[in-house]
Structure 1
Amino acid sequence: MRKYFLLLFIISFFSISAQNSFEFEGKKLTPGSKERFLIPVQYQENLTTHIPVTVINGRNSGPVLGITAGVHGSEYVPIMAARAFANEVDPKEISGTIILVNITNLASFLERSVRVNPIDRKNINRSFPGNMEGSVSEKIAAIISSKIIARSDYFIDLHAGDANNDLMAYAGYYNYDYKKEVSKKSLGLAKALGFDIIVQFGNTNKIEGKSTYCSREAFMRGIPAADIECGRKGLIEPQNVERIKSGLSNVLKHLEISTGEAFYPKENLIVSKRESVNSNYDGFFQSKIKSGQYLKKGMKIGEVTDFFGETLEEIYAPCDGFVLYKSYNPPIKKDQILFSIAVTD
């Protein structure tokens, strides 16, 4: 009888932990394997761009984690971190599956185009859920929505400050009353990324209209999601690359995709309200303020001049708070953002 129960336990254990093959783009990945794909995106009759994707199918069963990098192709730190992370993860040492998009916006990356896809001049992170009958950015968003996000149990979107942004590192997640459980799990994911500062997006009862943003598309599908913002001024600083890799590795432990105890900051500063300051003119932006700097309401924080150096407007802090990110280079267009400020009481 004892042998019978032991055999039953062994069968039960292996039936629970055994991993299945994972099918992606017509190919079956066996348990404990890793494959790389180039998903074609045709945008004219004879013109095609691609989405490079790495799929890592673990030896044992577990959740599916989707990760996107390079939605903005000039945000280099997360692109470098994602590539290194995908190459370093051993599929034989994990449970579950990781679908990692190495560079979502390849045309932007190759052309060094800030924020927009140079083919159609659209921002992919304003194009979700996408449209396979639309422009190339809308097609890419539709592919990410259907082939990556829809197959994920958890989702992370990686961003940074590009060449025009001085940015302090933080994690972010969507918080809406109508999806309390998804919001709660998303906060857990954000905490596991290991950043001291966590920004809440949304903070209303319900999302109205389309998802628009990559990680919000996941949230609207009921998938816990978080963002990373880490990297500044378009620089590839090794400590920031490692910070993202470390955050992703810790998420694997948090989700029990890998073994080991996850680390969580003892205390997070939760930012629930932000104020944006935009330019009223085309011209030159000048400011000595840096990301992370604390501001007092009414404090002068910069100015916009015309192309000859004559002052068009002086910029003052609209609230007490600290700078999450700011425009870094002199060129500025009307209505472009100068500062994003985390509001403090």
Structure 2
Amino acid sequence: MRFLAILLIFLSICWQSTGQQSFSFHKTEVEPSTKKHFKIPVTDGKDSTFIPITVFHGSKPGPVLGITAGIHGYEYPPILAAQHLNQKVDPQSLSGTIILVQIANVPAFLDRSPFVNPIDNKNLNRSFPGKKEGSITEKMAHILTREIIAKSNFFVDMHAGDAPEDLRPYNAWYQSDALPEASIKGQEMALAMGFDYSIVFNISKERLEKPSLYCSQEAFHRNIPAVDIECGRLGIPGEEEADIIVQGIFSLLGHLDMLPITRTTAKKPVIIAKRSTTKSKSTGFFYTDKKAGDTITTGEHIGYITDFFGKKLEDITASQDGMILYMIGTPPINTGETIMNIGAFPSAMNKK
């Protein structure tokens, strides 16, 4: 008994020396050096779903990093990356806390539904900050805002090219003169992750006063440094892309001093601060020999659209010099849809 008492005193002293306390999440205490899984129920009174979340609570004090995967349920590499992180992150080595949303949009994932929640046909990434009393997608956004975003000191939302979207990997951070500290920290986060290309999302003060709509932008609206990841294409569950995401998250954890990872000088990405979007004026078939990542020049012919009998309706040309960040990678096209998004290289921006 005396030995047991001494052991308890010793463990108590060790615990106190770290200064780490339990982390409260969804009315549950997560003890230091542990992880706990949660299935948060969501219902609108008619339909129901859940959000699977893992909380890693470290052995030492540190920041709270919120991470979401599966806002769009057909974007598989981020979802696979979250599954890998669930196995690879050791809470005993962690300083601080990670709140990892394994799949934000379970109905879309299980129904293999691109872009929208099949229950109410709404896009979760156009629904933030959500509504406590609303449709099931609006309720999902409300829970993610309240339970994850609002509790985070830093935030990452992970995406990929959905079913029809060809995309080259990049990340992005939010920037606004109205929120300089969050902007600088967001930039530092993005540049530490090791992506070849980083995009600047410039947000005006006027935009900050409107509903965020986007998951990561909701974090920024709350003065939380926020980064987007885009890695994966055409709804393909690529393990290579999942590994790139996992590596980026671990690099970020080292940057935030949340894991004892030896910092290496991250390669400097190409920073893209200007983008242009080309939209379709027609409905029918889209033909192109271009792909995401291709470099194009202003006025270059990049494809054409025909009607359902093969009659050409319009030619598509490049709106600026730069690189195709993402584009429609399948034949169907509707009037008003985005055909491609082009990022201007810094040298091209300087010529404007």
Give the match for residue 93 of structure 1: 93
Structure 2 counterpart of 1:157? 157
Deviation at residue 12 of structure 1 after TM alignment? 12
| Counterpart contact for 1:177–1:205, Cα < 8 Å | yes
Match status 1:340 vs 2:346: no
- Aligned partner of 2:165: which letter? N
Cα separation, 2, equivalents of 1:264 and 1:227: 21
1:55 — aligned with what?
55
Q: Which moved more, 1:244-253 or 1:16-25?
A: 16-25
| Residue pairs, 1:239-278, within 5 angstroms | 239-278=240-279
CA contact (8 A) 1:76 1:236 kept: yes
Distance in 1 separating the partners of 2:256 and 2:60: 13
The 1:179–1:16 alpha-carbon spacing in structure 2 relative to 1, beyond 3 Å, is farther
* Runs of 4+ with deviation above 4 angstroms: 11-16
**Partner letter of residue 279 of structure 2?**
N
State the SS of the aligned residue for 1:158.
Answer: strand
Counterpart-to-counterpart distance in 1, 2:204 and 2:264: 30
Contact 2:44 2:134 in 1 (8 A): no
Distance in 2 of aligned mates of 1:13 and 1:275: 56
Offset, 1:261: 2.3
SS at match of 1:141: helix
Letter in 2 for 1:86: N
Does the residue aligned with 1:233 lie in a helix, a strand or coil? coil
* Contact 2:194–2:269 (8 Å) recurs in 1: no
Rounded to whole Å, the distance in 1 between the matches of 2:200 and 2:41 is: 34
Residue 301 (structure 1) shift: 0.4
Give unmatched runs, 5+ long, in structure 1: 1-10
Structure 2 gaps, min length 5: 1-11
Q: Distance in 1 between matches of 2:58 and 2:211?
A: 34
- The answer on 1:104 being equivalent to 2:120 is no
Q: Does 1:281 align with 2:272?
A: no
Encode CA deviations 1:248-269: one digit per residue, 9 max, x unaligned: 1111111111002234433221
Describe how 1:178-327 pairs up with structure 2 within 5 A.
178-207=178-207, 208-327=209-328
CA distance in 2, matches of 1:215, 1:56: 20
Aligned position for 2:6: none
Query: How many Å separate the matches in 1 of 2:120 and 2:38?
Result: 24
C-alpha separation in 1, matches of 2:187 and 2:327: 25
8 A Cα contact 2:194 2:267, kept in partner:
no
Aligned AA (2:281): N
The 3-state SS of whatever aligns with 1:44 is coil
The answer (yes or no) to whether the contact 1:279–1:335 under 8 Å persists in 2 is yes
Q: Deviation string for 1:202-235 (max 9, x for gaps)?
A: 2545524111111111111111110100011111
Superimposed CA distance per residue, residues 81-136 of structure 1 (whole angstroms, 9 cap, x where no aligned partner): 01111222111111111000000011110111111111111111111111011111
Paired with 2:17 and 2:156, the residues of 1 have a C-alpha distance of 26
Q: Give aligned pairs, total.
A: 334
| Contact 1:128 1:213 survives alignment (8 Å) | yes
Paired position in structure 2 for 1:3: none
1:23 corresponds in structure 2 to 24
Paired letter, 2:231 = C
TM-score norm. by structure 2 comes to 0.92
> Structure 2 CA distance, aligned partners of 1:263 and 1:120?
46
* d(CA) in 1 for partners of 2:114, 2:196: 27
- Distance of aligned partners of 1:298 and 1:305 in 2 relative to their CA distance in 1, 3 Å threshold: same
